[in-house]
Structure 1
Amino acid sequence: MVEEPQFTAKGYKLGDPAHGQRKHHAEHAVYVKTLDAAAALIERGFSLWMGSQGKRASLISPESLRIVRAS
């Protein structure tokens, strides 16, 4: 099953590493409008909420993500 970044009405949802074990709480969510902006934050240690149809979204650590840019 392929998971994709969660896009909400506010944008792509990320977890801020500054909040440690509480980064998954809604009040600590950071939203960006583009995948490029999300990728820049992931490179700085932010986690990304990802999910797939029929599956609840989960917070994925930056170490488990692979960023692929078009060349």
Structure 2
Amino acid sequence: MNRLGRLRFVCAACAAALTLLTTGCTLGGAAVGGIAGNKLTHGSTLGTVGGAVAGGVVGYELGK
């Protein structure tokens, strides 16, 4: 990963962390899960949606 790629990843991670801290657990979990799914599957739409769903479920359970 080149320098610009790392910068984008760090910015996305910071945005995800800020979203998680400032919103409900379900929305924050979905955002973090979507970003993680996108990165882990190299931009796959199915991976992004699957990560968002999984993150939303985890956020919902943690918010109970």
TM-score in same-fold range (> 0.5): no
TM-score (norm 1): 0.27
Greater strand share, 1 or 2? 1
